[in-house]
Amino acid sequence: MHQINLRLTQFYKLPSQFRKLKNSKTESQVLMIKYPKFSPSEYIKFYNTVWLIVNDILLGRIFYFVLMNNLRYLELLFEKYIPVYDQLLSNIVRWLMNSPAGFKLNNELASFLGQLIIWVLYIWRRLVLNSLTSNIGLLLKCIAIITKYGGISMFFCTVLDLVNILFLNIYGFYVACTRLYFWQLNIIMSLFKLFYGKKYNVLRNRVDFNDYEFDQLLLGIIVFSILIYLMPTVFIFYLTFAVARICLLIITSTLKFVLISLNHMPIVVLLLKLKNKERLPSGIIITLHPLKGELFLKTVPLSMKQILSSHIKSMLNFNLYNLNSDHNVTDSGSGAARIPELFSASDVIANWKRVSIITLAKNIITGDVIKDCDYKRMF
């Protein structure tokens, strides 16, 4: 639905973009005051939108024939590897239940967590994987038809949704193990404060000194010892599904990057750079002829570095506008919708940094849930 909304928005804006481009070429005195004789920005906006739509549809038609010609092969491929994927998950869980890599875990806790995950995998196999395998031919035909009429961007959107649905069980296991690890880690850190004679003051949001009784210290030592003993077992399950979550994040982030490229690539600017770079001016230089003593005026075109940096900057501004657009407020005086500045550029950067290596490593250590960048809100 997000891709359909984006494409309809592009179609909706095409007439106004064409009208602005037409007005920028009109030489009437009134319009020359309102618009320049030729506006490169309006030219680029209009034809870039047209090129993106046309290329999307053409690539979708080509990919439709590729899918239809290899339909039977793709069916056999899915029928072969979907059970392999399910069996691989079951084998990994059983391996975790039996001293993985020689680590001595708590057998009772490992058996409980493993049996619970295997039971969920069995239900997932009966409800989702078996239905998907039996109807894979019909599903591939539907994807091919969507690609034919919606463009190749709709193909990648459909694949992205299918990946999220197919691996939803892994995400559920990851969230459950993350919460368990996070709670256990927080309790251990709180018990550390108890041994130091400190406690967290909720009202003042600080750590204060406190005198504990002997029975409180004894109970804290017992609970601390139990949690420390169980921590390796919880951490092994948590780390396994955290790695699986990162692998899925790489797949979904790659698909989203392809969608961003298909929907927002500055293809006209790149073509103008190759064909007629004088239409992309970045400034002028004036030189003096050494013999004739005449001044020569020359346009300096945009470099590829300037084009890419400008595109990245415009994308960040576009992300910021879309984030703030989700919180439209109606002005009581005029009745028009105004956009409050609830987010800043740092929020956009922080959203993109969710998938950075440093953020992922920090989330794994602290037990925070690894989140993907908010693609639908920013684009």
pLDDT at 329: 45
pLDDT at 38: 47
Same domain for 238 and 100, yes or no, is yes
pLDDT at 234 over 80: yes
Q: What is the pLDDT of residues 32-45, one digit of tens each?
A: 455 444 456 777 78
| In-domain check, residue 25 | no
Q: What is the pLDDT of residues 60-75, one digit of tens each?
A: 999 999 999 999 999 9
For the chain, what is the mean pLDDT? 82
Same domain for 379 and 259, yes or no, is no
Cα 288 from Cα 300, distance rounded (Å): 16
Higher pLDDT, 317 or 246: 246
Highest mean pLDDT of the ranges 191-195, 196-200, 227-231: 227-231
Residue at a domain's end among 301, 323, 353: 301
Same domain for 112 and 234, yes or no, is yes
Same domain for 226 and 282, yes or no, is no
Q: What is the pLDDT of residues 288-336, one digit of tens each?
A: 777 776 777 777 888 888 888 887 888 888 778 777 776 554 444 444 4
Cα 374 from Cα 379, distance rounded (Å): 9
Total domains in the fold of the chain: 3
Lowest mean pLDDT segment, chosen from 165-169, 204-208, 270-274, 359-363: 204-208
Cα 360 from Cα 243, distance rounded (Å): 10
Same domain for 103 and 132, yes or no, is yes
Residue at a domain's end among 265, 290, 311: 265
| In-domain check, residue 40 | no
What Rg do the C-alpha atoms of the chain give, in angstroms? 29
| In-domain check, residue 220 | yes
Cα 96 from Cα 111, distance rounded (Å): 9
Same domain for 103 and 197, yes or no, is yes
Highest mean pLDDT of the ranges 27-31, 180-184, 205-209: 180-184
Question: Coil, strand, or helix at residue 38?
Answer: coil
Mean pLDDT across 6-33: 67
Same domain for 160 and 204, yes or no, is yes
pLDDT at 276: 78
| In-domain check, residue 337 | yes
pLDDT at 120 over 80: yes
Residue at a domain's end among 251, 280, 301: 301
Same domain for 93 and 235, yes or no, is yes
| In-domain check, residue 261 | yes
The parent domain of residue 228 ranges over 70-265
Question: Coil, strand, or helix at residue 122?
Answer: helix
Pairing of strands 206-209, 281-288: unpaired
Same domain for 224 and 355, yes or no, is no
Q: What is the pLDDT of residues 324-333, one digit of tens each?
A: 776 554 444 4
pLDDT at 30 over 70: no
| In-domain check, residue 165 | yes
| In-domain check, residue 43 | no
| In-domain check, residue 1 | no
Same domain for 104 and 131, yes or no, is yes
- Of the chain, the percentage scoring pLDDT greater than 90 comes to 29
Task: Find tokens 């709670």 and name the residue.
Answer: 183
Beta bridge partners of 286: 297
Same domain for 187 and 116, yes or no, is yes
Cα 282 from Cα 284, distance rounded (Å): 7
Same domain for 297 and 318, yes or no, is no
pLDDT at 58 over 90: yes
pLDDT at 1: 73
pLDDT band (50, 70, 90) for residue 46: confident
pLDDT at 279 over 80: no
Mean pLDDT across 7-30: 69
Mean pLDDT across 273-283: 77
pLDDT at 199: 77
